[in-house]
Chains A and B, each alone.
Chain A
Amino acid sequence: MATTFAKAAESVEHAARLENVSKSFAAPGGQQLVLDDITLDVAPGEFVTLLGASGCGKSTLLNLVAGLDRPTAGSITTDGRPALMFQEHALFPWLTAGKNIELALRLRGVAKPERRGRAEELLELVRLKGAYGKRVHELSGGMRQRVAMARALAQESNLLLMDEPFAALDAITRDVLHDELTRIWQETGVSVLFVTHNVREAVRLAQRVVLLSSRPGRVARQWTVDIPQPRRIEDAPVAELSLEITEVLRGEIRRHGQH
């Protein structure tokens, strides 16, 4: 009935394991079931996208995995505390880009002398060398999300949760960040659970796409994506699989108009 953050010493064969997870909220006229009996594993180093239309409870699910909320039934186990990236960058405006990253390091217990160097390394990883002293408002939307990514990586979590992190960006920047995320995922070996409502984005990025149905959210279908990386969102195999998934997704959505 709760989210358990396993200790680092335990041998874990899953970056995250969700078993029969349900979540309901109080609503006028009783409880509203948002997530229904979700069972899902994310293997270490795996990149999984959760795909669904409005009302599938994607964000609720991520909140549960992040430990920000508790499931009504079922259990969630993660390998340590997951890092979470939001649609909005959620960087703290009273700190510089570098200090935002250092705060994550500090809260993780990294000693002061090491923080600065580590923050510079992380900025270099997201190709923002020289942005250490920049204030958040001086950065573009894409740069902010990259700093947010660096801050999430600073938590050195084995699992990175991403809640539509690129949805508010323009298409060009989003494409570039897809490439960056793929590169960083391959370089760091972190597991990613990425929530989106964009089918092509899901296929472009993931090794596995999990489609959630809406109201309540259930695992409707899963696809393994074995198109080799680096992919592009325009690649024919990406488009082909996207089309197939879109058909199923539309079928799911259509059911809601029929009563």
Chain B
Amino acid sequence: MASTETKTAQGAELAGVEAGLDALEAADSGRTPFRQTFVSKILPPAVAVVLVLLAWQALITFKVVDDPTKLPSPSDVGAAFKDAWLQGDLLGYIWTSVSRGLLGFLFALAIGTPLGLLVARVKSVRAAIGPVLSGLQSLPSVAWVPPAVVWLGLNNSMMYAVILLGAVPSIANGLVSGIDQVPPLYLRAGRTMGASGLKGAWHIVLPAALPGYLAGLKQGWAFSWRSLMAAEIIASSPDLGIGLGALLENGRNALDMAMVFEAIFLILFVGIAIDLLIFSPVERWVLRSRGLLVRN
């Protein structure tokens, strides 16, 4: 009886010590207050943008550049935006390009993912096309525009072909490096639990490779968008509708620098917006849930 009591007392004591240690050592995780986010993340880029606008306006006001066909004033560009908006064309320009870009990106995703899996897991495939795949990343995809026009003609499929050639290597390479960087410890742990072969790929390798894959997707989108703009600028045709690239090319032909600037800003904004609205939140969520995102 006495020994049971001692044992229980010791057990309670141990549980108490353990609870204390856990409380002392566990990481505290809460959300950053909005004010702090605003001051540290939102305010600095906003100030930078304002400064650039001021410098630009100063160039015009002090007549450093006195030729509106070279440098339009911020208000001219603003007026170009306003006109496009009032005529109801602005969203049309954006949608023409964004819908192409996203659809092309989805195709690239559907091709790049299995390709990356093959390269990562099958040795002979890796030996055969691995180096080419990495090499293709450094080939500017604008180089594909002339052959794509010759092969496919001036139409949407040519645009998609250029996007694919630009984005597929990034997506596949991202997945390959994600898989290569899976810590061997996870694979061993998985194997002792009975996860080998397909089960291992599904439960261990793919989730562990997700951060690398997402980085590849992000880069893939950037490449899709760049390739598409190159294609739209070079291969403009009335049948293709006016996307942002065509808008820029039209502005150049009409010597309308305000329109050119309008197009450049739109291309920049859309590229950033898609990244900020889609890719960054997903990537941050994945990294944060794994404790890989250090808050400072």
Residues of A within 8 A of B (CB): 66-68, 81-84, 86, 88, 90, 92-95, 103-104, 107-108, 127-128, 135-143, 151, 155, 172-173, 176, 179-180, 183, 230
Contact, CB under 8 Å: A143 / B194: no
Contact, CB under 8 Å: A180 / B18: yes
Q: Which residues in A have their C-beta under 8 angstroms from that of B10?
A: 230
For the complex with contacts A67-B192, A92-B207, 9 further pairs of A-B residues with Cβ separation under 8 Å are A66-B192, A90-B185, A92-B208, A93-B290, A93-B291, A135-B291, A137-B290, A140-B25, A142-B22
Closest CB-CB distance, A59 to chain B, in whole Å?
Answer: 11
Residue on A with the closest CB to B289?
A135
Q: Does B52 contact A (CB under 8 A)?
A: no
Contact, CB under 8 Å: A94 / B210: yes
Q: Does B26 contact A (CB under 8 A)?
A: yes
Q: Does B191 contact A (CB under 8 A)?
A: yes
Q: Which residues in A have their C-beta under 8 angstroms from that of B15?
A: 127
Which 3 A-B pairs give the minimum distances between C-beta atoms? A137-B291, A140-B25, A90-B189
Contact with A along B189-204 (1 / 0, CB 8 A): 1011111000100011
A-B contact pairs, 18 of them (CB 8 A): A83-B193, A90-B189, A92-B208, A93-B292, A103-B195, A127-B19, A135-B289, A138-B29, A140-B24, A142-B21, A142-B25, A143-B22, A143-B26, A151-B193, A176-B18, A179-B14, A183-B14, A230-B7
Residues of B within 8 A of A (CB): 7, 10-11, 14-15, 17-19, 21-22, 24-27, 29, 185-186, 188-189, 191-195, 199, 203-204, 207-208, 210, 286, 289-292
Q: Which residues in A have their C-beta under 8 angstroms from that of B26?
A: 138-140, 143
Q: Which residues in A have their C-beta under 8 angstroms from that of B186?
A: 90, 92
Given A135-B289, A135-B291, A230-B10, A107 and B193 contact (CB-CB distance below 8 Å): yes
Residue on B with the closest CB to A177?
B18
Closest CB-CB distance, A138 to chain B, in whole Å?
Answer: 5
Partner among B7, B194, B204 whose Cβ is within 8 Å of the Cβ of A108: B194
Closest CB-CB distance, B296 to chain A, in whole Å?
Answer: 16
Closest CB-CB distance, A44 to chain B, in whole Å?
Answer: 20
Closest CB-CB distance, A66 to chain B, in whole Å?
Answer: 5
Contact, CB under 8 Å: A83 / B192: yes
Residue on A with the closest CB to B28?
A138
Q: Which residues in B have their C-beta under 8 angstroms from that of A180?
A: 14, 18
Residue on B with the closest CB to A179?
B14
CA distance A139 to B290 in the complex (A): 12
CA distance A142 to B27 in the complex (A): 12
Q: Which residues in B have their C-beta under 8 angstroms from that of A66?
A: 192
CA distance A158 to B15 in the complex (A): 26
Closest CB-CB distance, A168 to chain B, in whole Å?
Answer: 13
CA distance A106 to B199 in the complex (A): 11
Contact, CB under 8 Å: B21 / A94: no
CA distance A58 to B22 in the complex (A): 31
Partner among B17, B192, B207, B290 whose Cβ is within 8 Å of the Cβ of A135: B290
Contact, CB under 8 Å: B195 / A94: no
Contact, CB under 8 Å: A138 / B188: no
Given A179-B14, A230-B10, A92 and B204 contact (CB-CB distance below 8 Å): yes
Contact, CB under 8 Å: A81 / B194: yes
Closest CB-CB distance, B261 to chain A, in whole Å?
Answer: 44
CA distance A151 to B186 in the complex (A): 13
Contact, CB under 8 Å: B191 / A68: yes
Residue on B with the closest CB to A157?
B192
Closest CB-CB distance, B95 to chain A, in whole Å?
Answer: 36
Contact, CB under 8 Å: A176 / B191: no
Q: Which residues in B have their C-beta under 8 angstroms from that of A108?
A: 193-194
Q: Which residues in A have their C-beta under 8 angstroms from that of B27?
A: 137-140
Residue on A with the closest CB to B188?
A68
Contact, CB under 8 Å: A143 / B17: no
Given A138-B26, A176-B21, A183-B11, A84 and B192 contact (CB-CB distance below 8 Å): yes
